[in-house]
Amino acid sequence: MAAPDRPPTATPPGASTPEDKSLPDLGRELIDLTVTYAKQETIQPLKALGPRIGRGVLGAGVASVGLVFLLVGILRLVQVEARLRGLWSPVPYLAATVVAGGVAALAVKRIGARR
């Protein structure tokens, strides 16, 4: 059974067909297209995200410093006000650890709620 005749496809003016190019030229064109596509799909979006990433890192740093100050303040408050001695001396550290765990649990809950 003979294959039906296909109409020739139109080639845009100035474009070359694969038959006009040698194999090394086609290889170079493939590499150029791949590199251009990779830049378009990875580097350009990352450049657009740069300011957001910077603000996020800055915010995380400020929040971390604030949390450290909060925990040290709680630790010192419980140490001074409770005046615990002997076997009770670890209680202020436990209180600060419980607050830190609560903040971490809240952060995990808030991050999980967005998904």
Tens digits of pLDDT across the chain (115 residues): 555 565 555 555 655 665 678 888 999 999 999 999 988 888 888 888 889 999 999 999 999 999 999 999 999 999 899 888 889 989 999 999 999 999 999 999 998 876 6
In a domain, 32, yes or no: yes
In a domain, 51, yes or no: yes
In a domain, 7, yes or no: no
Q: How many domains does the chain have?
A: 1
Domain with 85, as residue range(s), is 27-113
Question: Which residues does 77 contact at the CB level (< 8 Å), separation at least 6?
Answer: none
20 burial via Cβ count (<10 Å: 0-12, 13-18, 19+): exposed
The CA distance from 58 to 60, in Å, is 5
Its pTM surpasses 0.75: no
In a domain, 3, yes or no: no
In a domain, 66, yes or no: yes
- Predicted pLDDT at 101: 96
In a domain, 101, yes or no: yes
The CA distance from 46 to 39, in Å, is 10
In a domain, 84, yes or no: yes
Q: Count the helices and strands in the chain (H runs, E runs).
A: 3, 0
Which two structure tokens, joined as six digits, stand for 12? 């845009």
Tell me how far CA of residue 99 lies from CA of 71, 107, 113, in angstroms.
Answer: 7, 12, 21
